[in-house]
Amino acid sequence: MRTALVTGGGRGIGAAVSKKLAHEGYRVIATYCNSSKPAEMVIDKIRDSGGDGVAVFCDVTDQRQIALLATHPWICGGVDVLVLNHGRYDRVQADELDLTQLRRTMSTNFEGAFLVWKSIEPHLSPDARICVIGSQLGTRGSAHGADYSASKAALATWARSLAQSVGPKGQRVNVVAPGFVDTDILGGDSTEKRASREQEVPLKRIGSPEDIASTVSFLVSAESAYITGAVIHVNGGLYLP
């Protein structure tokens, strides 16, 4: 059976990706860090729909936890799809950012993704598909999220470099860069702020986690067999690099 590993697979975009891939026949390993309940609920829905999955704790800033994740029997049996989705976003003004805050974000968003891939790499199938969840902010920057923007920029550049390296082996690596998506990051928006965001988007709506999951599904499918090293912006026209 094909296996997909989705980091941060219990909430927001990760939850939508986990359910989408399970629907397409993958057994899904969804990692979580802060709370097991959302991830377990995702797995329950997958199983109720006839799929198979498991929620696994993994703090991606802890190399011991990542090493333990790599010993999971499903992973040892081979990973066909790796979705690096976990992340943190602390709203800090760029001119107020300090080194501790920067290191914390980079450790989670960039180094954590690299370390998960590095640990899982021996178990990736010859034609494995890797999808990195980046952000439009990794290209355009953000006055109140310079650390997040920097981490996503590093992640995207690393992913494109990796695509060049593993391409000859038959593996593909792509990046999805969302714009405004209805996840916890926007959870604190007032009604007025949300309406303002919607007006910024040419399609006049906030994206859904399912919008991103559909793009991930395409990028790990045979339909995208000649796409690797790409950064796909999914933002309703909000940002056109």
pLDDT score of 162 more than 90: yes
Which two three-digit tokens encode residue 90? 């602390």
The whole-model pTM stands at 0.95
pLDDT score of 192 more than 90: no
Pairwise CA distance, residues 163 & 194, whole Å: 36
Express each pLDDT in 127-147 by its tens digit.
999 999 999 999 999 988 999
Mean pLDDT of 110-127: 98
Q: Do 130 and 174 form a contact (C-beta atoms < 8 A)?
A: yes
Of 196 and 64, the one with more pLDDT? 64
- The predicted pLDDT at position 93 comes to 86
pLDDT score of 186 more than 80: no
Residues tagged active-site: 148
Pairwise CA distance, residues 44 & 133, whole Å: 24
Backbone phi, psi, residue 41, to 5°: -65, -40
- The predicted pLDDT at position 189 comes to 77
Express each pLDDT in 24-56 by its tens digit.
999 999 999 988 999 999 999 999 999 999 999
- The predicted pLDDT at position 112 comes to 97
pLDDT level of residue 241 (50, 70, 90 thresholds):
confident
Pairwise CA distance, residues 129 & 124, whole Å: 9
Which two three-digit tokens encode residue 146? 């310079």
Computed over every residue of the chain, the mean pLDDT equals 95
Mean pLDDT of 201-223: 96
- The predicted pLDDT at position 196 comes to 87
Mean pLDDT of 193-221: 94
Three-state secondary structure of 27-90: EEEEEECCCHHHHHHHHHHHHHCCCCEEEEECCCCCHHHHHHHCCCHHHHCCEEEEEECCCCCC
The fraction of the chain above a pLDDT of 70, given in percent, is: 100
The fraction of the chain above a pLDDT of 90, given in percent, is: 86
Give the contacts of 41 (CB within 8 A, at least 6 positions apart): 10
Express each pLDDT in 78-103 by its tens digit.
999 999 999 998 888 889 999 999 99
Pairwise CA distance, residues 49 & 119, whole Å: 31
- The predicted pLDDT at position 183 comes to 84
Mean pLDDT of 15-22: 98
Q: Which domains can be identified in the chain, with CATH numbers?
A: 3-234 (3.40.50.720)
pLDDT score of 158 more than 90: yes
Q: Give residue 26's identity as a one-letter amino acid code.
A: Y
- The predicted pLDDT at position 191 comes to 85
